[in-house]
Structure 1
């Protein structure tokens, strides 16, 4: 699996790094991320929740034989649609990305939280399908692959299917259906009034059957109570029943998972009287919140599990790690699925399933330390770019990453020389060695939530001086919090330490072995989803821009 991830990275990035033109550049020799909290450290015989820490929202899962595959939303980041692979639902490996080339989709000029929403992955009759929405970038589409590691096809667009969060369900007779969120019939009755609709689709042609549209759910479980944001539908057939599960309440603290069932798709779905089957909104205080947007999977042995998103706030509803992927066993009671009893907290550790190896590191455990010495011609697949698959401004050679400035600012929606790695822990340190930036280039370390909310520890190089500064961008407004002039032109280590609520920046002169803090400790809440809005988590990144900016 690791070998496949590497080969995919080469496809995604290696072929998209053309030779540089003679322009000012910045060079980084390494990047290091180290967790300092204890959330992923568990006792023998257990594994930790979340199974995918960091910004891995809206999980969907499928199975081929005894291997499971999981996909997440990726919004405007590239490569998009990360796909994970596991044989036991505990140990996950990144198999590749389903979106890795510009012929598939474009995210040019999109805000960070637009782009790819809520995919569904399914396996049927030798083929893998992903159906998803490119918000403000073309709408709903399907892609296919024989191997989840790729290559994946170019999209087949579905102009008839509006809204977001499409699901693909293949019935026992081979007929296939798309369920999705869209506007309700008629005028909305209240803010957040949405509906779930159904279409039939021909899997041979991937064309929606005209005039097959049907209303499944109007509003939610009980429209008289004005439920909001019914979305993320998935349909299953179990023991003669059709089950429809959806998220309800919006993807924040009121998030929940609800379920309906019917004997026939031509008859109405009836809501479960004990809905919701998963929520944390009934808990006044919780380490884990916003649970919902679940998908179900059955093991070859007949057991059931559910993956879902949740968040880990550190102050109020502030969280920087984004919406993450969690897992819990699913049980059936009186032919209804149950994920978590009302009022119970989501467990942060779970017993290792019988027969699962306990001496192998999980994805969560491996995520505690990430180091890149840039000793490959292809960038590590953990690095994300903004808005574009083409990265001619980045090159790795001779154990160094070179960034060539594209814009004067990271704030505007134009493509920027920026690469980011997900923040996966509430306490961490991240550092990089900046070998140098040529005159006219500003480069450094970014703690990034979106273009309008981030911190930048930058080094500005001119012909006569070198200035290290700390910059805050809040609601699009730039404030230089601190700056100092440094002598010499040698390598610098730029560092940020996160202790839940604060971020402390520092710089070290490699030659003189002198370290200094840059500015006062800064509030981490600035780069939380709660403060900045949107649907993504924070990234720790490397950035270069022309010195004429800001």
Structure 2
């Protein structure tokens, strides 16, 4: 393989898991309270990835209402066994750990099977012959501090979706007094079972660690070269941070690779959140070695910027696979596509709530971008529509057209750490119902542009990040409409979204 072009998935694609099936590779990531849940990508060469579907789409699969944005669907694992795909994950706010299955990775996926007595987060599955094992994480029985966890395994009866026989504790991590040993994956290679985990929490101290045993239930020997990969020793100013939560795959030529999450930083913050990276793996003395000869993921010019990519999101029914909504998928009564335009019915749910607003977004994929959208909208009193740059319900920007005291107004409203501030407000006396709205960012600074005119420039968006606001997600951006009237039938009409990553 040529040099890997990292990140292989740009934007909020954290906690990756990967498997091979029929000479192709399939990769999934976590989605928290975004819907649809768990995008699934396909590749024939491990370099070029195409989204082919979403694992969780229905209300039974995806129960996220009343959850804050960094809750919901945590890390998932994908495995392929006897012509069937399995995805197991955690709904952190609704029911805990469950799995779904499909014979076609594009779907449809089955209804969820929730597991009883399966505490913890970030589960995995391991197949050995006719047996399936649940690999989990949980707090130790005598936990001495928050994050004092252990990895355990128990046989899973797939015929009825129940854990059977006795659970076995395998490992509690490589580092002394480690926090959050999690994201376990179990593999069998030659004479050994290998247990790979994340440690240190999913921020600067994140790392990849591994142990092995000749018996499934242990005892497990920690690798003396742990961590296999981390960037915590490179300092807070290194542009690539948070490396951890890895999964291994062997390609059809017998070469090995690992996918993991990481974050591209600018001055200690990232709008994109945690993204998916890949590194080569070799084996020495029956241990995996990540990034042999380097010990870190190389930071190349193309790693840090989009290198002139122009992306056009054309509206379709169903919506393009890259589109996301909050907590549930908006049905056809709320959004429709006619002649290439999106008709978005104004919703009564606000962005700061924990329901489903009329918002359709895409992931922010670079520190620098321009998002441009034509909009047709005639608001009534108490109605608004436009563009949104969204981190969570307490941190976002609305660039909108609204009607106030019978006057059409262009407004920019910033909410930061729950405090809402109107940073621009102007009567749109030339507005006749049509406008081109544009968000333009340069690192942690944003311009809002109305028909080619900058209304407000250099808006500080540095706090609209995990590092500024807490949580686990990255930013999204997209189109939005709101009304304070329950019986409103008004729509905002949006043309294609054009995103430029210079």
* TM-score exceeds 0.5: yes
Distance across 1 between alignment mates of 2:319 and 2:22: 32
Rate the CA distance shift 1:216–1:45 in 2: closer, same or farther, 3 A. closer
Cα shift at 1:379? 1.6
Partner of 1:282: 233
Cα shift at 1:341? 5.6
* Count of aligned pairs between the two proteins: 481
Partner of 2:435: 492
Equivalent pair of 1:435/1:490 in contact (CA under 8 Å): yes
Partner of 1:264: 215
Measured on the aligned residues, the alpha-carbon RMSD in Å equals 2.3
Equivalent pair of 2:378/2:433 in contact (CA under 8 Å): no
State whether structure 2 residue 146 is matched by structure 1 residue 191: yes
Rate the CA distance shift 1:367–1:544 in 2: closer, same or farther, 3 A. farther
State whether structure 2 residue 108 is matched by structure 1 residue 151: yes
Deviates more, 1:200-209 or 1:233-242: 200-209
Partner of 2:389: 447
Cα shift at 1:71? 0.7
Equivalent pair of 2:69/2:392 in contact (CA under 8 Å): yes
Question: Which of 504, 510, 517 is the aligned partner of 2:447?
Answer: 504
Within a 5 Å distance, the mapping from 1:373-388 to structure 2 comes to 373-374=314-315, 376-388=316-328
Rate the CA distance shift 1:273–1:279 in 2: closer, same or farther, 3 A. same
Rate the CA distance shift 1:482–1:232 in 2: closer, same or farther, 3 A. same
Cα shift at 1:415? 1.8
Cα shift at 1:463? 7.8
Rate the CA distance shift 1:403–1:368 in 2: closer, same or farther, 3 A. same
Distance across 2 between alignment mates of 1:414 and 1:58: 25
Distance across 2 between alignment mates of 1:373 and 1:437: 23
Partner of 2:137: 181
Rate the CA distance shift 1:390–1:367 in 2: closer, same or farther, 3 A. farther
Cα shift at 1:528? 1.4
Paired residue secondary structure (2:75): strand
Distance across 2 between alignment mates of 1:77 and 1:400: 23
Partner of 1:71: 28
State whether structure 2 residue 481 is matched by structure 1 residue 544: yes
State whether structure 2 residue 474 is matched by structure 1 residue 516: no
Cα shift at 1:193? 1.0
Partner of 1:221: 174
Rate the CA distance shift 1:367–1:123 in 2: closer, same or farther, 3 A. farther
Distance across 2 between alignment mates of 1:478 and 1:340: 45
Equivalent pair of 1:310/1:325 in contact (CA under 8 Å): yes
State whether structure 2 residue 156 is matched by structure 1 residue 201: yes
Distance across 1 between alignment mates of 2:301 and 2:345: 46
Q: What do the CA deviations read for 1:167-224 (whole angstroms, capped 9, x no partner)?
A: 10001x32211111111122x2123211111111123333211x42111123x214xx
Cα shift at 1:342? 9.1
Equivalent pair of 1:81/1:99 in contact (CA under 8 Å): yes
Structure 1 unmatched ranges of 5 or more: 1-43, 352-363, 509-514
Equivalent pair of 1:46/1:350 in contact (CA under 8 Å): no
Partner of 1:125: 82
State whether structure 2 residue 288 is matched by structure 1 residue 334: no
Equivalent pair of 1:454/1:527 in contact (CA under 8 Å): yes
Partner of 1:212: 166
Equivalent pair of 1:454/1:526 in contact (CA under 8 Å): no
Partner of 2:256: 304
Cα shift at 1:266? 2.9
Cα shift at 1:46? 4.7
State whether structure 2 residue 414 is matched by structure 1 residue 414: no
Within a 5 Å distance, the mapping from 1:95-174 to structure 2 comes to 95-171=52-128, 173-174=129-130
Partner of 1:243: 194
Distance across 1 between alignment mates of 2:460 and 2:24: 42
Distance across 2 between alignment mates of 1:198 and 1:239: 20
Q: What do the CA deviations read for 1:78-136 (whole angstroms, capped 9, x no partner)?
A: 11110000111011110100111112231111111111111000000111000111111
Cα shift at 1:462? 5.2
